[in-house]
Structure 1
Amino acid sequence: MTQLHVRPAHDLDAREMAAILNDVIAIGGTTAMTGRIDASYFVDRMRAERDAASWLVAETPDGEIVGFQWITRGGAYLPPEAAEIATFAKPGWQGVGIGSRLMEATKAAARTLGYAWINANIRADNASGLTYYQSCGFEDWGRQKGVRLGDGQIVDKVLKRYDLV
């Protein structure tokens, strides 16, 4: 496993996080996000969701951010005891343990924030995302059919759940 350090994200990480997410969006097929974002997307969300969220980055020993993960309050379709999760690895860095390291820290943060479970809302055509969350112990609990993405594409989404208690 590659030497990685996981730590809380802060405003100064937002530019690197946006660059990673924009690269993932440009490749396509693994995120429901379809438009480019900038650093302010992360700065604004981290500040607005401070009391109910955890934002973590994985970095190399020289400080390069190679992945990140967040949990926030769930969407309207989830009860208040559920957090929503998102995970992104820098293209070319998949499969080196980034997700596993982030997940351990995120589970601890979710418990501290008082969540009972974590929901992953994954595009049904995102095989790597489905495999990742399954490998972390998430189990299928639902499906959203015919979700329209920002670019007009229609996809199904698989809902996976990880119980913290």
Structure 2
Amino acid sequence: MPVHVRAALPQDASAMARILNEIIDIGGTTAHREKFDDQRIIDYFISPKLGISCFVALEGEQVLGFQSLDWSDPDWPGDRLPPDWGVIATFVDPHAHKRGAGRRVVRQHGGSCEKCGCQLHRRNHPQGKHRRPGLLRRHWLYRL
């Protein structure tokens, strides 16, 4: 069955939480340490205050992964990005690698970047491009 992409909906939160929580349990590929419930997924990825878009990759009705695109947070307590930068985070079910979910959501967000006047700059996650499990890569956006 082909992988397709659509905007994430609140109904996807449980599947997204399951994926991210498994990645957190495995360790080593995400900065997230606290588990996510449905509401936290909605607040953090699907409908955040600085959100631009969030997409899920599906095979049939099964969520294989997701990617969020947000403007940088000017109140972030750590290293701050310029206010016209954003961050893309990509998460793929550790049991669904090599099925195209990551590639499809990255391609979909390329269109979102164009719509908001952004240029995508790829910077691989410190642990390496496509190093498993779960986090495919990290990107920064710069608004033109």
**TM interval, short-chain normalised:** 0.7 to 0.9
Q: What RMSD over aligned residues (CA atoms) do the two structures have, in Å? A: 2.9
Distance in 1 between residues matched to 2:19 and 2:68, nearest whole Å:
14
Superposed displacement of residue 79, structure 1:
2.2
Would you say the 8 A contact 2:118–2:141 is kept in 1? no
Q: Which runs of structure 2 are paired with 1:124-139 in the superposition (5 Å)?
A: 124-125=126-127, 128-129=130-131, 132-133=136-137
Letter of the aligned partner of 1:48 in structure 2? P
Alignment counterpart, residue 70 of structure 1, candidates 68, 71, 81: 68
Distance in 1 between residues matched to 2:139 and 2:43, nearest whole Å:
27
CA separation of 1:28 and 1:103: change in aligned 2, threshold 3 A? same
Q: Which runs of structure 2 are paired with 1:48-127 in the superposition (5 Å)?
A: 48-49=48-49, 52-61=51-60, 63-76=61-74, 77-117=80-120, 122=125, 124-125=126-127
Using structure 1 for the length normalisation, give the TM-score.
0.69
Aligned residues: 136
CA separation of 1:29 and 1:101: change in aligned 2, threshold 3 A? same
1:66-108 Cα offsets, whole Å, 9 max, x none, are 1100110124422233220100111121122111111110111
Match in the other structure for 1:143 = none
Gaps of 5+ in 2: 75-79
1:26-51 Cα offsets, whole Å, 9 max, x none, are 011110111211111121233333x7
Match in the other structure for 1:34 = 33
